[in-house]
Amino acid sequence: MNVHPLPAAQRGVKDIGWLRSNFFFSFSDFADPTRSAFGTLLAFNDDFVETGKGFGLHPHKNMEIVSVMLQGSMNHKDSLGYSNTVQEDWVQIMSAGSGLRHEEYNVGEGPVNFLQIWIQPKQQNIDPRYQFRHFPKERRRNTLTTIVSPEEGAAHCWINQNATLRLGLFDAGSRVPHTFNPANKCLFFFAISGRYDLSGHEVPARDALGIWNTDRIDINVLDAGEFVLIETPVNQK
């Protein structure tokens, strides 16, 4: 098994007052040639947005953009006609495909914290799509819950890539074995909260770990918390 630690302290940071972003990979004005991506995972940003602020109408094309809401309320309005609000424990995805425009603002009374995840698409120029799903904590405690999948279904969001995103929410002392087909696949683990041991590698809150060349990991929960586990191709084919 190969691992690549990604400590929170080594992330790129952008702070413009109303927006504070933490980048694991090159994004915006943060450029690190040694951290351009991890497989088809092109961006993993830990974003904080102040009340009443946000991102005005802007375009996207040929990118899978996942938002995992950790705190607060954010609106979503796009050129497909969708207009809604997502809050804590909601997940949304845009398969930007041939192109769309959207805006999002903090419409709550407190700060927003969300994970912005960009994944390279499998097919180019598909019809753009938008989905959102609710994953309340009381339904997923001590389970590994699929939130995004390449298989269409009512229980999760669909992605135009052979990638799967899961949320874990576990008590201290839990052991979470995870097996997967290692052919052209890698894993990205991000600790939202808590502290973990992944097959001998400790990962505290807000740290991440890249994993490849294995078909199994054991997640031992040292301190109770929540995490994201992303399985995605190493190389686009």
Per-residue pLDDT of 39-51, as tens digits, reads 999 999 999 999 9
**Residues 64-112: pLDDT tens digits?**
999 999 999 999 999 999 999 999 999 999 999 999 999 999 999 999 9
Question: What pLDDT is stored for residue 224 in this prediction?
Answer: 98
- What is the extent of the structural domain holding 190? 2-233
| Burial annotation 168-207 (CB, 10 A radius, 16+ → b, else e) | bbbeeeeebebeeebeebbbbbbbbebbbebeeeebebeb
Whichever domain contains 144, its CATH number is: 2.60.120.10
Domain count along the chain: 1
Question: What pLDDT is stored for residue 96 in this prediction?
Answer: 96
> Which residue(s) pair with 92 in the sheet?
67, 132
User: In what order do the strands lie in the sheet containing 216-223?
Assistant: 175-179, 216-223, 195-198, 201-204
Mean pLDDT of the residues in the chain: 95
